[in-house]
Structure 1
């Protein structure tokens, strides 16, 4: 299955972007090559930019607390496993505590590192971190894989509470909705959003499906237009006779 997620507000959009960046950073840090570690460092710089939103940490803390209060309402419910409930509450409490313990602006320790900020500045220029531009970075890239991995892990560590917190919130969001099985005649689907309190929509297609959903939405309506990429991957409209089967999930916390 291929899942396409479309956020309905800036907060969820930011969380999805950070999730994607953390996944990429984690993947490239685990590799052994200097080029992969270069990509990991560039991804770290992107995380630093996206995570710089002033209210991000407090938004996560408030959402985690709201979910904790909701779960507390299920105490002594015979239909709910006490063990599972206690585990979920503990996870929420630990995530909140870790976020609260983050002092100052997110990623400030990296911003205070002149060497890293020099590389970040040069990296914004095409080819700007060649060996003749930043010889100290060229030297770092020639250290052992273990040395580079340890450095990258250390630079990413201050973001761990943020990564953990947003993972919990997005997991709860994704599990909040029910699946609807639908068909888009002519590759077009529209639904009015009146009465639907949703923060994100998920459109699910089989992996072998040749269609790609282009999604747009506002507070009044959701529109999905299914396109079919040609041999050069350019999206093309479907024929009016085509029917596109898909699943959809409206998610809200």
Structure 2
């Protein structure tokens, strides 16, 4: 997953930065995938064209597939409870921003309460919706949702953008607490650990992990640097190799051999 941000620097007022994120376990991999899908869903749902709303439904079906793990809700509740217990210890601690601490604790409490009220697996409420399940089954067939295949869907698409959006929001609403919980857990995770400036000699960087376990690696690179990072990590060693992308975007056989200064953050809940 990549994110583009602006970073203020002394020599250059605005330097565009691309952030690469690499999950270090399957649990975080799932959360990042769902976060990406929720963002795409929100974008396409907010548009007005019927094809945008079709894409929103396809994304909704992907969310159901990725988030169908039975323990996803319990994992998030346990993590929120653990983070709350950890943060409560800082109440009254000198040097701690009390307002920010209480705001974070309130957000955790509110998110956990809403998530606890959700029933069943993610998207389980949609499995009894015959209209959506027929569309979902036809989407696996190339061109399978043409108007002559699904006239009922064609009629729905011919409704006003606002009417379609009301339906889509209603179908998504039971998933909102889980989306908010994922957003909060990943926000806490991303702000953990310290950001360090390091150098990759001849396009390669290694770091001893000393048996420590981390959950997420974040790397900040100048966006105008024509390289693509390749990651590999275990509890003993972290490797980052920088490659030059070719016309097809494939870069493994084209290593970058110059030094690269970049920022790295190893995150852990």
Whole-angstrom distance in 1 between the partners of 2:194 and 2:75: 25
Deviations 1:186-241 (A, max 9, x none): 2111223224331110111011111110112223322211111123433252353x
Give matches, 1:8-157, under 5 Å: 8-157=24-173
2:196 to 166, 180, 185: 180
Whole-angstrom distance in 1 between the partners of 2:256 and 2:184: 41
Whole-angstrom distance in 2 between the partners of 1:220 and 1:96: 35
Task: Count matched residues.
Answer: 252
Q: Partner of 2:230 in structure 1?
A: 214
SS at match of 1:183: strand
**Runs of 5+ unmatched residues, structure 2:** 1-16
Deviations 1:60-92 (A, max 9, x none): 000000010011101122322333222111110
Q: Partner of 2:247 in structure 1?
A: 231
C-alpha deviation, 1:55, in angstroms: 0.6
Whole-angstrom distance in 1 between the partners of 2:248 and 2:215: 34
Deviations 1:24-81 (A, max 9, x none): 0000001110111111110000001111101100000000000100111011223223
Conserved in 1, the CA contact under 8 Å of 2:211 and 2:235? no
Q: Structure 1 segments of 4 or more deviating over 3 A?
A: none
Whole-angstrom distance in 2 between the partners of 1:58 and 1:232: 41
Whole-angstrom distance in 2 between the partners of 1:100 and 1:31: 31
Conserved in 1, the CA contact under 8 Å of 2:212 and 2:235? no
Q: Higher relative contact order at CA 8 Å, sep ≥6: structure 1 or structure 2?
A: 1
Whole-angstrom distance in 2 between the partners of 1:161 and 1:101: 9
Whole-angstrom distance in 2 between the partners of 1:206 and 1:94: 37
2:210 to 191, 194, 212: 194
Whole-angstrom distance in 1 between the partners of 2:92 and 2:62: 45
Bigger Cα displacement from structure 2, 49-58 vs 82-91? 82-91
What CA RMSD, in Å, does the superposition of the two structures yield over aligned residues? 1.3
TM, length-normalised to structure 1 = 0.96
Whole-angstrom distance in 2 between the partners of 1:82 and 1:175: 17
